[in-house]
Structure 1
Amino acid sequence: MTDTTNTPITVLGLGLMGQALARAFLKAGHPTTVWNRTAAKADSLVAEGARLAPSVGDALEAGGVTIVCLTDYPAVRELLGDARLEGTTLVNLTSGDSAQARETAAWAEKQGARYLDGAIMAIPSSIGTPDSVILLSGPRLDPALDALGTVSYLGEDHGLASLYDVAGLTMMWSVLNAWLQGTAMLRTAGVDAATYATFAQQIAVGVAGWLPGYAEQVDKGSFPAEVSALETDARAMAHMVEESEALGVNAELPKLIKAMADRAIAAGHGGEQYPVLIREFERSEG
């Protein structure tokens, strides 16, 4: 394991996020080398103490750990395709899917690199703070990466960071869409978004508290109706659809939710609890 006090770091790719990553390493005292296709993007970092590498090869040689933060996985393969990777530690924080992560890991390891795949659950301004969550999967992580924020190691499967990333985005957008649906409904009665947001936060926190118990049901594959049966929930869903339509508000979201419940009920699960819908989510559209 590398000493966190002096691990040399290289950052390839200096978009807003790449610059934030490099700046966090500099702030933590790591010798930091940077490279970007447009060299001028490194000017502010060089002024803060970073070294600008003249080439990708030079940048790779300088780093005990090399962070890659580019537009996509094809860009990563294009950039590193002709580089000497033997003995390097690559941490790829480029967004992509789990299949791309596993394929890139196999390719990099074949070249002799130690490869970790990751996902950044943060905005550039939060990098280096506890609010910055960095997901990593692959070989055990280097502690130098703690300079980036709250680092979560997920396991040896290189695809897990990408999967967690997408699962987190699913959660985020689902909560936001539900809030926007409710906001649209309440605005028809003159209730502003700020007023509803406080109530919506209380609901979101309450629902979050159900997750451990619901997760236990999903993992066991048993869904006793301890709180309410799905067929009871479906009646409330129908009310949500009817209210939206009566108010002139888009009803696509509540209709989607009810359609999934209706399929589960038709399959004989109406007397079970809401998490039984996992069986609908695990089915492909076909």
Structure 2
Amino acid sequence: MTSNENAPVTVIGLGLMGQALSRAFLKAGHPTTVWNRTPTKAKPLVAEGAQVAPTINDALKAAPLTIVCLTDYEAVHELLGGSDIDLDGTTLVNLTSGTSAQARQAAQWIEQRGARYLDGAIMAAPPAIGTAEAVILHSGPQRDFEASKPTLDALGMITHLGADHGLASLYDVAGLAMMWSVLNAWLQGTALLQTAGVDATTFAPFAQQIATGVAEWLPGYAEQIADNAFPAEVSALETDARAMAHLIDETKAAGINTELPTLIKKMADRSISAGHGKEQYPVLIEEFTHPSDN
């Protein structure tokens, strides 16, 4: 009888990420079956011990757990939507990137066809898969996650977010919002300092220190949002807005792009006009929870 530690697994989709997933399973000792539309992509994995399934149905039946990593959800539906595809009894973990609505629709569609379904999001580049640096999010029924976890653990730091199949996709884009916002802020500061002859490598350690310090504020600010109370313990929003105006003045004087600081100031000004100037910065959550004008 196969133990959980070396349970078989199937990987469908052998792009760079699919190949990395397959290698992580093989390295962890899981008998791994692979399938890809272009069979030649499987050759390196076969040399490392993987088995190639001749058909999708063969791939699905080769293991109780199937990992799908394709271009998009449309590709998932196209591949698994045929009347000859048998999903009955399979646990399908979909690590294809998409929206929360697509994840929820896919869950309903897959479950109606007799399979168990977990949606997931990979917060890592292919080289990190199989290491502690790879954060992989899952959402769907807890029991299905727990049953699959001993195998999924081969991929990295595995987290279950909840029963709502859309949560992994939502966390994914929320994380991307954080990433791009931090990077854009750093690029704005870099562009500003370059006008004074300070290069990016000189600014980076200081910027990293600022980003780390701001990150430490998040738990306390989260409590204010949860309590819907924003006492100005550090700084009032109207004070922050004056500093934003200084940043805009500096960027204009330096002859560089002012779009990002102007956007931030515009949101702060709306909040101040609504009577929140004496409150702390997290009160801007109200601006983010309203639909934009355009």
The TM tier, using the shorter chain, reads over 0.9
Tell me which of 200, 208, 211 is aligned to 2:218: 211
- Structure 2 distance, partners of 1:71, 1:186, is 39
Residue 183 of structure 1 deviates from its aligned partner by 0.2
Write out per-residue CA displacement over residues 88-116 of structure 1, whole angstroms, 9 at most, x where no aligned residue: 00000000000000000000011111000
Matched to 1:177, the amino acid is N
- Structure 1 distance, partners of 2:253, 2:117, is 55
Once the two structures are overlaid, the 10-residue window that deviates more, 171-180 or 135-144, is 135-144
Structure 2 residue aligned with 1:121: 123
Structure 1 residue aligned with 2:111: 109
Unaligned stretches of 5+ in structure 1? none
- Structure 2 distance, partners of 1:88, 1:202, is 47
- Structure 1 distance, partners of 2:264, 2:290, is 15
Matched to 1:271, the amino acid is K
- Structure 2 distance, partners of 1:254, 1:43, is 50
- Structure 1 distance, partners of 2:159, 2:185, is 28
Matched to 1:274, the amino acid is Y
Write out per-residue CA displacement over residues 200-244 of structure 1, whole angstroms, 9 at most, x where no aligned residue: 000000000000000000011110111111000000000001100
- Structure 2 distance, partners of 1:215, 1:85, is 42
User: Is 2:75 the counterpart of 1:68?
Assistant: no
Structure 1 residue aligned with 2:285: 278
Instruction: Kindly indicate whether the alpha-carbon contact (under 8 Å) linking 2:6 and 2:28 is maintained by their aligned counterparts in 1.
Output: no
TM-score, normalization by structure 1: 0.99
- Structure 2 distance, partners of 1:173, 1:28, is 33
Secondary structure of residue in 2 paired with 1:5: helix
Structure 2 residue aligned with 1:185: 192
- Structure 2 distance, partners of 1:181, 1:5, is 48
Secondary structure of residue in 2 paired with 1:285: coil
- Structure 2 distance, partners of 1:194, 1:18, is 34
- Structure 1 distance, partners of 2:104, 2:277, is 39
Structure 2 residue aligned with 1:230: 237
Structure 2 residue aligned with 1:5: 5
User: Is 2:13 the counterpart of 1:34?
Assistant: no
TM-score, normalization by structure 2: 0.96
User: Is 2:161 the counterpart of 1:154?
Assistant: yes
- Structure 2 distance, partners of 1:139, 1:3, is 22
Matched to 2:191, the amino acid is A
- Structure 1 distance, partners of 2:5, 2:141, is 21
Secondary structure of residue in 2 paired with 1:135: strand
User: Is 2:167 the counterpart of 1:165?
Assistant: no
Instruction: Kindly indicate whether the alpha-carbon contact (under 8 Å) linking 2:72 and 2:96 is maintained by their aligned counterparts in 1.
Output: yes
Write out per-residue CA displacement over residues 117-159 of structure 1, whole angstroms, 9 at most, x where no aligned residue: 0000000000000000000000231121000000111011000
User: Is 2:252 the counterpart of 1:245?
Assistant: yes
Structure 1 residue aligned with 2:77: 77
Runs of 4+ in 1 over 6 A off after TM superposition: none
Residue 6 of structure 1 deviates from its aligned partner by 2.2
Write out per-residue CA displacement over residues 64-102 of structure 1, whole angstroms, 9 at most, x where no aligned residue: 210000000010011001211110000000000000000
- Structure 1 distance, partners of 2:64, 2:57, is 13
Residue 3 of structure 1 deviates from its aligned partner by 3.9
Write out per-residue CA displacement over residues 38-62 of structure 1, whole angstroms, 9 at most, x where no aligned residue: 0000000001000000000000000
Unaligned stretches of 5+ in structure 2? none
- Structure 1 distance, partners of 2:281, 2:182, is 17
RMSD: 0.8
Secondary structure of residue in 2 paired with 1:275: helix
Tell me which of 181, 184, 200 is aligned to 2:207: 200
- Structure 2 distance, partners of 1:65, 1:246, is 59
Once the two structures are overlaid, the 10-residue window that deviates more, 80-89 or 11-20, is 80-89
Instruction: Kindly indicate whether the alpha-carbon contact (under 8 Å) linking 2:10 and 2:66 is maintained by their aligned counterparts in 1.
Output: yes
Matched to 2:105, the amino acid is E
Aligned-residue identity in percent? 71
